[in-house]
Amino acid sequence: MLQYNIDLKGKTILVTGSAGFIGCNFALKLLKEYEHVKVIGFDNVNDYYDVRIKEERLGWLSKYEGFTFIKGNLADKALIDELFAKYQPTVVVNLAAQAGVRYSITNPGAYIESNLVGFFNILEACRNNSCVEHLVYASSSSVYGSNKKIPYSTDDKVDNPVSLYAATKKSNELMAHSYSKLYNIPSTGLRFFTVYGPAGRPDMAYFSFTDKLCKGETIEIFNYGNCKRDFTFVDDIVEGVVRVMQHAPEKVMGEDGLPVPPYKVYNIGNNQPENLLDFVKILQEELIAAGVLPQDYDFEAHKRLVPMQPGDVPVTYADTTPLEEDFGFKPSTPLRKGLRAFAQWYAEYYK
């Protein structure tokens, strides 16, 4: 087990993507559980999906005295530099990104601007502000691409991305490594695996399936239902981020007299991939139990098995051994429990 070397009490923490699904839940945990913590939230609140959900999340955060929100674009270097100079964050948690594998096929420019230019601006700001003790950033299980070996280990080569989104996330890891090496900036990348939960992203399968079923539309299950996903409940992701952020990789000198990059990468996944057909069955049962769908809903008439889509992979499966060894934590929320929480939130939010 690693010993924490960052005390969060009274610290200023920059959370980019704070109106997003993971960013909001992460910021809420910090504000609820750590004394006198100051969270600087940053987000462009774009319309990639329903802005009302993002605004609702920001509403939850604005109830806390320690929360300050700045609306802006990560690609705006002057704004990022101004933000760092004004608030002097101790820990930077970069959760902002243009998400979505399929969207990256039709809208590549959005990914270059947010995931590459935006992340570069964060790295430069960390380099130029000695107040930053640790940079934590979201990577993705997508970096494993067409990797045939499972479970996916952070020791595996990840040189075969199958989408631009995956390529930008791998680029983030490379960029962070170079800045850690050149400027001795402690950085930790976190490869998230299929995050789900209440008030999540409407473009994710569990959410979009629910929307379509409620409208009486047909849902498409890719790869004829033979895909497996390591579904990870958002609370488990957040717990992992909070633990990791409190240990910045140590600054040490190598045998060549130069700094060894203070750089780490971890998987955060449930370590238990679920078949998509089983996932859909559980989702259906929980939507009925929550009253979102009627007891006699004919699911068979509303689902269709279709081929694999471009950018998709058949299996995601996280090896979380390093996370367990270093932080004593392993995501463990059962899929049914997580989907039940989502179904109950959906029933309440959409009445």
pLDDT given for residue 202 in this prediction: 96
In a domain, 189, yes or no: yes
Q: Stretch 164-189: mean pLDDT, rounded? A: 96
What does the mean pLDDT of the chain come to? 95
Q: Of 264, 232, 229, give the one whose Cα is nearest residue 246.
A: 264
User: pLDDT digits over 158-169, tens only?
Assistant: 998 999 999 999
Q: Is the pLDDT of residue 126 over 90?
A: yes
E-strand stretches of 242-281: 252-253, 259-260, 263-268, 274-275
User: pLDDT digits over 304-321, tens only?
Assistant: 989 887 767 888 999 999
In a domain, 309, yes or no: no
Catalytic residue among 48, 144, 152, 165: 165
In a domain, 156, yes or no: yes
Q: Exposed, middle or buried by CB within 10 Å (0-12, 13-18, 19+), for 189?
A: buried
Q: Is the pLDDT of residue 106 over 90?
A: no
Percent of the chain beyond pLDDT 70? Answer: 100
E-strand stretches of 218-272: 219-221, 228-229, 232-233, 252-253, 259-260, 263-268
Percent of residues in the chain assigned helix, strand, coil, to nearest 5: 40, 15, 40
In a domain, 289, yes or no: no
User: pLDDT digits over 64-88, tens only?
Assistant: 999 999 999 999 999 999 999 999 9
Q: Is the pLDDT of residue 141 over 80?
A: yes
Is-contact 91 126, C-beta < 8 A?
A: no
Tokens of 20: 């997003």
Domain count, the chain: 1
pLDDT given for residue 216 in this prediction: 94
**Domain that residue 57 falls in:** 12-196+232-271+316-332
Q: Stretch 269-288: mean pLDDT, rounded? A: 95
pLDDT given for residue 256 in this prediction: 81
In whole angstroms, what is the distance from residue 164 CA to residue 48 CA? 17
In whole angstroms, what is the distance from residue 297 CA to residue 210 CA? 13
What sign has the CA pseudo-torsion 139, 141, 146, 149?
positive
Q: If pLDDT is split at 50, 70 and 90, which confidence band does 275 have?
A: very high
In whole angstroms, what is the distance from residue 349 CA to residue 345 CA? 6
In a domain, 115, yes or no: yes
pLDDT given for residue 315 in this prediction: 84
Q: Is the pLDDT of residue 28 over 80?
A: yes
Inter-CA distances, 126 with 17, 175, 326, Å: 17, 13, 25
Q: Is the pLDDT of residue 272 over 80?
A: yes
User: pLDDT digits over 202-244, tens only?
Assistant: 999 999 999 999 999 999 998 878 889 999 999 999 999 999 9
pLDDT given for residue 294 in this prediction: 96
In whole angstroms, what is the distance from residue 187 CA to residue 63 CA? 30
In a domain, 320, yes or no: yes
State yes or no: is 350 an active-site residue: no
In a domain, 224, yes or no: no
In a domain, 86, yes or no: yes
pLDDT given for residue 230 in this prediction: 96
Q: If pLDDT is split at 50, 70 and 90, which confidence band does 255 have?
A: confident
The CATH number that applies at residue 85 is: 3.40.50.720
